[in-house]
Amino acid sequence: MFYKSLTLASAIFCGVLSANATYITAKIGKITGNLNPNAKTHIVVAGSGGDLGIMLQQAGIAKAKKYRDLYPEDQIYFITFKEEFKNEGEDKDNFQFLNRVGFTDIKEVGGWFSGDLDGEDLMDELKAFNQIASLDIFSHGAAFYGIQLGGWTNRWDPSETYYKELNGHFAPDAFVVLHGCNTGYLATTLAYHFKVPVAGSLSATNFERPFENGLYYRDDEGRYPTTGKFKTKNDQAFKDPVACHRGGCYRLKPEDFAYTGHWGQFSGALPFYKFFCDPAMGDIICKRGMAKYAMSLISVLPIDENSSLEDYKKVIQDSICSNRPGKELQKENCVNALESSLEGKNLTFNPNYTRDNGSQAVQFECTFTQCKLEYKCEKVDLLGSTILRRSSCSAKALPGTEATTATREYKAFIDGYKYLTGKY
């Protein structure tokens, strides 16, 4: 067995295998010509979708369009895995897809004899910029093997040391978000190296889109209302509505139950992206970055630094609390608990889904530097290398820990709003 307690500078194995990749880059927004390496830049990366088709790209495109909406003068750079589409309607490949939804300067990097997008390739792309305002990566994730970029073996692996090379390439109030299953295990490592706030999930993730009742739901049977329908355009998250067929609707959100999947079965979860910050950053820088992230969310209404605290709270509540048809009282209880926690009440509130029998996944206790949990996997030898056995992994809270993660995160977001806007 391999045992691990998650800490900020955690080291994990399984590295990238190839370089000189084939992948796609594109831009969106008013910036034309060559990108300026010293201008504020928002970078969105969509890894290989595999069984998800173009869903990761869909969520990444919505995020890129959100940045265009928020920061029309900033550069927005999109990087994605090169692939042909089999069942995606009118688009046969990334080029047609990105062009149709409004991207420009679409280019293929690499060639016939290149491998798929890997960690070193992505690092080279990122190091070309000196004012990265945000970095969002949409990908498959694995707690011990990092996030998948182009194909199964090409990843950002937590054991790598090159992450520190990005330290100094971020703009003030920058942040990084790893969208995908169990990415929080890598987020701690990146926060240590990048010296900016980094968020990741500690559960599975799923895609949501806006419903006509004004809420976002999973597009799975039983996870959205039986009456009504999904919207054909997102008239909530953007200042000007963006049609779904133009990439404005999908978001990727952590699930409100414990992960069960390819790697095994976990006993706890967090239904939101958890932020981690290196202590050297200080409290104010960490929370200002969190507030900037909040303003980039695909959510129930658009917010920016001029928004009221009341509207800002609605977006944060939407990011922490889940929407389930027939479980509206749970959502209401979640919102009320978060608000009362600001007065010192309900600090141990658990926002994970409560089943009809009263059971729910444990809420993992996580600070800004670590999660108090034990992760273990069985190891096997394969051709002289040690790998983790599929379905053998588990994660559970350490004994004696009482979690206050959700309410502390909510308070941190509120602090961030005050630090960023000066409104108290």
Task: Please determine, for residue 191, whether its predicted confidence score (pLDDT) is greater than 80.
Answer: yes
Model's pTM, two decimal places? Answer: 0.92
Give the pLDDT confidence score for residue 184 in this predicted structure: 93
Give the pLDDT confidence score for residue 3 in this predicted structure: 32
Give the pLDDT confidence score for residue 408 in this predicted structure: 98
For residue 287, which phi and psi values (nearest 5 degrees)?
-80, -30
Give the pLDDT confidence score for residue 117 in this predicted structure: 83
- Burial level of 383, CB count in 10 A (0-12/13-18/19+)? exposed
Which of 19-33, 116-130, 203-217, 274-288 comes out lowest in average pLDDT?
A: 19-33
Query: Tens digits of per-residue pLDDT, 316-330?
Result: 999 999 999 999 999
Q: Higher-confidence residue: 386 or 227?
A: 227
Question: For residues 138 and 147, is the Cβ–Cβ distance under 8 A?
Answer: no
Query: Tens digits of per-residue pLDDT, 195-241?
Result: 999 999 999 999 999 999 999 999 899 999 999 999 999 999 999 99
Query: Tens digits of per-residue pLDDT, 360-380?
Result: 999 999 999 999 998 888 888
Q: Which two structure tokens, joined as six digits, stand for 273?
A: 């992206």
Task: Give the percent of the chain with pLDDT over 70.
Answer: 92
Kind and range of the H or E element at 115? strand 115-116
For residue 95, which phi and psi values (nearest 5 degrees)?
-55, -50
Task: Please determine, for residue 13, whether its predicted confidence score (pLDDT) is greater than 90.
Answer: no
Which of 27-36, 238-247, 332-341, 411-420 comes out lowest in average pLDDT?
A: 27-36
Which of 176-180, 220-224, 382-386, 408-412 comes out lowest in average pLDDT?
A: 382-386
Task: Please determine, for residue 8, whether its predicted confidence score (pLDDT) is greater than 60.
Answer: no
Kindly state the average pLDDT of the residues 106-129.
83
What are the CA-CA distances from residue 265 to residues 181, 182, 225, 248, 357 (Å)? Answer: 13, 12, 28, 33, 20
Q: Which of 207, 123, 112 is nearest to 160 (CA)?
A: 123
Which of 125-139, 168-182, 253-267, 409-423 comes out lowest in average pLDDT?
A: 253-267
Query: Tens digits of per-residue pLDDT, 84-111?
Result: 776 656 777 888 999 999 999 999 987 6
Give the pLDDT confidence score for residue 386 in this predicted structure: 72
Give the pLDDT confidence score for residue 4 in this predicted structure: 37
Task: Please determine, for residue 20, whether its predicted confidence score (pLDDT) is greater than 50.
Answer: no
Give the pLDDT confidence score for residue 350 in this predicted structure: 97
Question: For residues 134 and 176, is the Cβ–Cβ distance under 8 A?
Answer: yes
Give the pLDDT confidence score for residue 391 in this predicted structure: 82
Give the pLDDT confidence score for residue 332 in this predicted structure: 97
Question: For residues 363 and 351, is the Cβ–Cβ distance under 8 A?
Answer: yes
Q: Higher-confidence residue: 115 or 229?
A: 229
Q: Which of 276, 120, 117, 129 is nearest to 200 (CA)?
A: 276
Give the pLDDT confidence score for residue 112 in this predicted structure: 55
Question: For residues 244 and 231, is the Cβ–Cβ distance under 8 A?
Answer: yes
